Amino acid sequence: MQMQPRRGRPKAWQDKTDQNTIKSLDRAMAVLEHLSTLPGATLSELAGGLDQSAATVYRILVTLEARDLVEFDGEAQVWHVGPRAFLIGARYLRRTSVVDRARPILRALMQETGETANLAVARDGHVMFVSQVECHNSIRAFFPPGTMSPMHASGIGKALLAQMSADQFAAHVKRHALEEFTPHTIVAPEALSREMEDIRGRGYAIDDQERNIGMRCIAAPVFDWTGEAVAGLSVSGPVSRMVDNETARIATAVGDAARSLSQALGAERRD
């Protein structure tokens, strides 16, 4: 007997027309997603927010309630996301690796900017590079996995420092020496603190020859489902190519890539 090939999708899986869409399921997912953005909602609030009839939304909620995806507070007459929704999300997170998720995003970022794209995480007061997609230029940045760099002299490091609370930042500066690597390295705590304000204001960090003369880096933080900054993405290259009038274009690409990776890790969308 000939065995049928195992398939994850039918042949027509790319067909997104109505014939392959379960409209009632789509409406139910819209209700669940909308409810997840609220601290709780009454039936009339949900129906109004979704522009659906209360009867339709109620049937959906009762169906979801049977699966523990939503729950009802009878005293307050308010609906909430249920415990099984959290369990499903937790199962997704267990299979989510920041390195694996970042790889196609890094590749696309390199292709868009023409420069090397990097992924790094914080470790013991430094950033550790964990993945990289090199560009094809003969002169390019190179940070093999495992390379460590002090946070204050790294684009990704500064992007992550800027997400710390004032107390966390002060503790970091107190514990880790602000070593000077080039004349451009920021070594005064007050100046570094002002730099953090600038980074938060514009949404990205710049390492302007602060670790290595002749190299420039633009970086943005990556957030997980808890809202914590868990990694950073960057583009690095020589100052001869990463000139000032390219900063805005590259920063936009880096920011978009960081948001894409954050959303892949379960983070809320950030505008």
Q: Rounded to whole angstroms, how far apart are CA atoms 139 and 123?
A: 28
Q: Strands, E, within the chain: which ranges?
A: 70-73, 78-81, 116-123, 126-133, 148-150, 205-208, 215-223, 229-238
List domains and CATH numbers for the chain: 18-93 (1.10.10.10), 96-264 (3.30.450.40)
pLDDT at residue number 147: 85
- Answer whether 0.75 is exceeded by the pTM: no
Residue 51 burial class via C-beta count within 10 angstroms: exposed 0-12, middle 13-18, buried 19 and up: exposed
Q: Rounded to whole angstroms, how far apart are CA atoms 195 and 243?
A: 20
Token pair, residue 269, equals: 């969308």
- pLDDT means per 10 residues, the chain with 271 residues, are 54 59 91 92 95 95 96 95 84 71 95 94 90 82 82 96 95 94 96 96 96 95 92 94 92 96 85 60
Q: 94: helix, coil or strand?
A: helix
pLDDT at residue number 67: 95
